[in-house]
Chain A
Amino acid sequence: MAGAMDLPPKGGFSYDYCRRNAMLADKGLKMPGFLKTGTTIVGLVFQDGVVLGADTRATEGPIVADKNCEKIHFMAPNIYCCGAGTAADTEAIWSARSFNFTVMQLVVNHEFYQGHVSAALVLGGVDVTGPHLHTVYPHGSTDTLPFATMGSGSLAAMSVFESQYKEGLTREEGIQLVADAIRAGIFNDLGSGSNVDVCVITKGKTEYLRNHQLPNPRTYVSSKGYSFTKGQTEVLYTKITQLKPKVEVTEGDAMEE
């Protein structure tokens, strides 16, 4: 029964539940929905580097599961990556880092995942040869562009870029344009929402402006709030366990002979 005992596996996918799940699907039980990042993600190249932007909404079907999630992920101090699509896939791809990242991404997405891993990325960074911006699609193709948008809100954001982008933008203009594009996605696309995250990468310095703009504050909070009197909930039984402080073992002196 060597196969049944779970020594922690060396990694990679395990397919042993596929047959069971297929059998359940045949019996009429529908597969669950996965967390998707509906998303608007954008990137543009300005005179000194790259600016990336993303919204912060994560959806589960029509429900907002997370109002402030992080979609801009760290790859290297000078390379950041935004992800759209199935959230688990983008997080997994992000954590499988490689130095020669774009090439690996192409190979992995194309040969290995073959589009089953639904992750679309906007990747930007600055190295010795200058600023670079790439997009990676779920099936593995890549583009290198001066400005790019991905995700369900990409059309709204691209309309902003196409009308206002020009070469040689300054840092402030770049950040403003990225924020405008993300806001277009937030307000016009239902799969994107909440706040604007921005990341500015230049030679030698990276600034991650988390929640750079908060255009959707929560205004419906009741001023009094709910307050429940103690004992309002009916309790059948209570069990109290005291937590013992952990005993620390410190090095002692050697015993004398």
Chain B
Amino acid sequence: MSIFEYNGSAVVAMVGKNCFAIACDRRLGVQLQTVATDFRRVFKVHDKLYIGLSGLATDAQTLYQKVVFRHKLYQLREERDMKPQTFASLVSTLLYEKRFGPYFCQPVIAGLGDDDEPFICTTDCLGAKELAKDFVVSGTASESLYGACESMYKPNMEPEELFETISQALQASVDRDCLSGWGGYVLVVTPTEVRERVIKGRMD
């Protein structure tokens, strides 16, 4: 079994019209046993920037704490929040420092940048950034997520439609993956509000 499949995870982010959505599953497992069904993988960095971390849960939590620490230092020095592009470079650098003994994590970064332009990107566990204009996926269910998002995604969706699409894509994909699922957290962020929803899924 690969180190990535130890805990099981699924994270996806999609771009809509002046908004973005980021979603993750809720299962935490130890190989084939389920240990928790309310585990959060998507974390807030600041009001308009979120990071989802798939892979080994312990590395995800450590990396999140380091990243938040660096962001808080940045806020103190610069007296403003980090832009998503800068944040993506920060995460990439933090991961690449551990090139020969990496964190077993694949972050998905989603935020609203200048002029509330949505920005999403993912990196592999060494920090190679992949920007995308439509959607990014990571986790054990990533292959199914690629397929589901590729067919369900449409550009310029409004927040409500984007919520439905990302939820259906997530559900369809995790239902084909034993290691992830048990519901989902979906956050839809627009320039004026954040809607966080817990969705009901198959509990098997």
Interface, chain A (partner B; CB < 8 A): 6, 8-9, 11-21, 24, 28-32, 34-35, 58, 60, 63, 65-66, 69, 86-89, 91-92, 116-117, 222, 225-230, 232-243
Besides A18-B100, A32-B104, A58-B130, 9 new A-B residue pairs in contact (Cβ under 8 A), listed by A number: A17-B101, A19-B101, A32-B55, A58-B128, A87-B126, A88-B127, A229-B164, A233-B171, A243-B47
Say whether A237 contacts B198, CB under 8 Å: yes
| A20 CA to B198 CA, complexed, in Å | 35
User: Could you mark each residue 140-168 of chain B with 1 if its beta carbon is under 8 Å from any beta carbon of chain A, else 0?
Assistant: 00110010000110100000110111011
- List which B42-69 residues lie within 8 A (CB) of chain A: 47-48, 55, 66, 69
B39 within 8 A of A: no
Please indicate the chain A residues that have their CB under 8 angstroms from the CB of B4 in the complex.
32
Binds A, one of B8-16, B173-181, B188-196: B188-196
| A212 CA to B116 CA, complexed, in Å | 30
Identify the closest chain A residue to B163 (Cβ): A233
Residue in A17, A21, A236, A240 whose CB lies within 8 Å of B199: A236
B129 to chain A, nearest CB (A): 7
Please indicate the chain B residues that have their CB under 8 angstroms from the CB of A233 in the complex.
163-164, 167-168, 171, 199
B91 to chain A, nearest CB (A): 12
Please indicate the chain A residues that have their CB under 8 angstroms from the CB of B100 in the complex.
13, 15, 18, 116
From B1, B98, B161, residue with most partner A Cβ within 10 Å: B98
User: Could you mark each residue 119-131 of chain B with 1 if its beta carbon is under 8 Å from any beta carbon of chain A, else 0?
Assistant: 0000111111110
Task: Kindly state the interface size class of chain B when it binds its partner.
Answer: 35 or more
| A98 CA to B174 CA, complexed, in Å | 46
Please indicate the chain B residues that have their CB under 8 angstroms from the CB of A88 in the complex.
92, 95-96, 99, 123-124, 126-128
Please indicate the chain A residues that have their CB under 8 angstroms from the CB of B195 in the complex.
238-240
Please indicate the chain A residues that have their CB under 8 angstroms from the CB of B102 in the complex.
17, 21
Say whether B183 contacts A236, CB under 8 Å: yes
Say whether B130 contacts A235, CB under 8 Å: no
| A66 CA to B136 CA, complexed, in Å | 9
Please indicate the chain A residues that have their CB under 8 angstroms from the CB of B161 in the complex.
227-228, 230
Given contacts A32-B3, A232-B164, contact A241 B124 (CB under 8 A): no
From B100, B161, B200, residue with most partner A Cβ within 10 Å: B100
